[in-house]
Amino acid sequence: MGDSLVTRPGSTPDREPWADLFRKQVAANARFWAEQIAGHPAGITSAHPERDNIIKALSRALQLETAWAPATDLLLAFHPYMERRGVMAEWEQFVEACLAICRRQGDLSAEAALLDRLGELKRDQGAWDEAVTYHTQASLQFQELGQKAERARALGNLGVVHRLQRRFPEARLALLAALDCCQACGDLQLQAFVLNELGLVQHDEYQHQEAIASFEAASRLWSQTGNPEGLARTQQNLGLAYLALDDWERAESAFHSAIELYQQTHSRLYLALASMNLGNVHLRRKQYGRAEAVYRQTKDVMEKTGYSWGHAQVLNNLGMACTGQEEWHQAEDFFRRSIALWRQLGEPVSQANAEDNLAEAYLLQHRWEDAREVLNQARERLSGLEPAGRVEALLSDIDEHLCTVEAGTAKIPEA
């Protein structure tokens, strides 16, 4: 990322008048870039060509306690770009450095905002418990400060993490509270963000028509407020809902719309996610070679960015694409890598799903006992979870595959 935070705050030579002039120039430079990003209609898109200059300005400002205010403004303005570029671990160093300064300065509002951003970075790295802690702290702090819009943002982010944890009641509670805050403060972009996340909860609970309604409402608000990044994300989610209903044409159209928007906004990570979902359309159409090509490109991005959830998902999808082409060895390798990563992330439902897919590959090869072992492991993994939504559908698939195992072994002649 270029500059790093190696100089201690206040370590600049303290000679007048040059030292004072230097401090003023550093603060002014940070303030200039913060205003440029915040004031540009394209938001994070405009920051892309000047990325190195912005990082340098921020790094220098964070090394001076006297420049902490413009440094904080610049970091918060530039955060969406860096998060979407998928450089979470490196960017986290800057956020933590800024948080430490704001705490020393006693700025509770900036502290809460930075806690919320740290939660986003932890979420993207799969550290969901830490993310919940940061978002909860931020929302409570904003509540004490009476900042409704900022509290809505933190609550919305909390709902996102709870959804990823499959804690749907908690996700709904956080998102509905966020929606109340949005309506109270009249922030349409935040309202669009919350509606998008509510649609994802509905989608995950197999309420696809309700999800489509939420995504369409969010899309209208994104268009109304001129936010291409938000519109891209919601169009991608709309495609997922249509894909779940086997409406492949509308799904493909929505994914292409998302990809075009992400290409304009330089969002490498989210562009990869949208491309992966387009690969899922190819997979449903049994265009396995096309799906595999898309997934392999996506996998490279997930590995480079450290986005563990996306990496685990694309490994599972690669396993399915290879299964469709009867590339058994590669399929098994991808599934097992996906299973290991889901286990590491503490995601039992997605792990069981990958195990079920591995078992299906075994069934196609008539490897009955291997399939039985994996299916029993998957079923045991889901036994303590509420049999609703995705869990219920997955249990049904596992039981069906176990019946196939019994039928297959019954045909084996005794020695």
Distance CA 136, CA 296 (A): 36
| pLDDT at res. 7 | 38
Contact assessment for residue 198 and residue 172, using Cβ atoms and an 8 Å cutoff: yes
> pLDDT by residue (tens digit) across 349-394?
999 999 999 999 999 999 999 999 999 999 999 998 887 778 999 9
| pLDDT at res. 19 | 65
| pLDDT at res. 125 | 85
Q: How confident is the model at residue 60 (pLDDT cuts 50, 70, 90)?
A: confident
Q: Is the pLDDT of residue 235 over 60?
A: yes
Contact assessment for residue 334 and residue 376, using Cβ atoms and an 8 Å cutoff: no
93: which DSSP letter? H
Claim: this prediction has a pTM higher than 0.75: no
Domains and CATH numbers, the chain: 297-381+396-404 (1.25.40.10)
> pLDDT by residue (tens digit) across 302-339?
998 888 999 999 999 999 999 999 999 999 999 999 99
The 3-state secondary structure of 323-387, one letter per residue:
HHCCCHHHHHHHHHHHHHHHHHHCCHHHHHHHHHHHHHHHHHCCCHHHHHHHHHHHHHHHCCCCC
Distance CA 175, CA 254 (A): 24
Contact assessment for residue 212 and residue 174, using Cβ atoms and an 8 Å cutoff: no
| pLDDT at res. 61 | 84
Percentages of the chain per state (helix, strand, coil), in multiples of 5? 85, 0, 15
For the chain, what is the mean pLDDT?
Answer: 89
CA distances (Å), origin 148, targets 99, 155, 280 = 21, 10, 39
415: which DSSP letter? -
| pLDDT at res. 246 | 93
Distance CA 330, CA 361 (A): 11
Distance CA 220, CA 186 (A): 15
